[in-house]
Each structure stands twice: as C-alpha cells, then as structure tokens.
Chain A
Amino acid sequence: DTAVSQTPKYLVTQMGNDKSIKCEQNLGHDTMYWYKQDSKKFLKIMFSYNNKELIINETVPNRFSPKSPDKAHLNLHINSLELGDSAVYFCASSYRQGASTQYFGPGTRLTVL
C-alpha cells in the first residue's frame, strides 16, 4: 500500500506551459507539504497545509499555487514554467503540524525545456 503517492513521476514540458502535480496520502495525516530539491540536492520547503489550511508559504514565486481539496490531497499547480523550475518536487505528510516524522512521496522529476 502506497502511503504518499504523487503523479506524475516524470514531467517534461516546454517553457511557458502550465502544469500540475498531484499528491495523495492515505495515512490519515493532518499536515501535508511540498518540497523542491534542486540539482545541488538541497531540499527546501515550499508550502505546508494543516487540515486544508495554508500554514507555511515560503518565498516562492506566485506562479506556484498549492490547492488542498481535502486533508488527504495537496496538489501543486505551476504557471508559466521557467527553466529554473526544473527540479524534483516531493510531497510529504506528517501526523500533525510539527511532528518529527514526515513521510515523503516518491517525487516528481520536472524538466523544463
């Protein structure tokens, strides 16, 4: 059984396009996150939602918009994709806000051409 799943696993697209990444967790967790891992392997938090409420919104361009239709889902929509958006995007969840253990999805490798 997959705990945190993401789709798609790979995404190759042209500059200027709009794309979405979906995330679902079946752990019953309250909190979900989006992280970006760039080519230098630094993992940086982008957003966090707790029970569908936005809790953390790091300095991320407005082109990135998260949406949480319910606490089991957190999607990420990216408008007007740029070359610098190429990275691996990880979704994660935790039992509650601030919980030590975060469970990560398998990642979505985004390549912008």
Chain B
Amino acid sequence: RKEVEQDPGPFNVPEGATVAFNCTYSNSASQSFFWYRQDCRKEPKLLMSVYSSGNEDGRFTAQLNRASQYISLLIRDSKLSDSATYLCVVNMGAAGNKLTFGGGTRVLVKP
C-alpha cells in the first residue's frame, strides 16, 4: 500500500460546479496534512494546510478524518483556472520531518 494514495482522475467538472476528492494515508501517526496545487509543467505550490477541525479558504474546503485516515478537498463554484493537479501531502513525523506526496488528482474544469 502506498503511503499516500489519491485517485489520479481526471475529474471533469463543469464550470460553476462543485468537485470533491479524497486522499488516504497509511501512517496513523501522521502529524500534519496539506494540499498543494501543481499546474501543468510547473512547480507545486501550497494551496492550504488541513486542520483537524476542517478549514475553508474561499471556495476551497479541506477536511481531515483521522479515524479513517483520509483528507478531502472540496472546490465550490469551480473556475476554469482551478484546472490543475492537486497533490495530497502528509508529514508523517519521520526523521527530518519529510513531506510525503501523493500522486495527485487531476481536475479539469470545462466551460
């Protein structure tokens, strides 16, 4: 089992619609969680951290379910510019506090 797993997609989303997807992680001792965004042929950039109580940043909502070991990202009122690959990232608390990246979920927002 991969340490961080994501549905690769693509999720084809009509403009204005809502899309949500999850990411599962294997290590129950994982300490912190993030969503990064990567545009085609570009570098990853932090989208948002994921807090235990869930958090929202504009049209983006992130949730953490420690019992089931997954995090989710929901995008409301999708814009064409939301088309990207969304990377689930987990700090498993290993030596060096390294971040482990999932393979990404590709989202395509269409007019």
Q: Write the residues of chain A forming the contact surface with B, with a CB cutoff of 8 angstroms.
A: 40-45, 48, 55-56, 90, 97-98, 100-102, 104-107
Contact = CB atoms under 8 A, between A and B. Distances in A.
A56 B96 contact: yes
B103 interface: yes
Nearest to A44: B101
B45 to A, nearest CB: 7
Contacts of B103: 40-42
B91 interface: yes
A21 B85 CA distance: 25
A43 B98 contact: no
A111 to B, nearest CB: 14
Contacts, number: 43
User: SS class of chain B's interface: helix, strand, loop or mixed?
Assistant: strand
B43 A97 contact: no
A90 B99 contact: no
Nearest to A48: B96
Given A43-B44, A90-B43, A106-B43, A97 B97 contact: yes
B96 A55 contact: yes
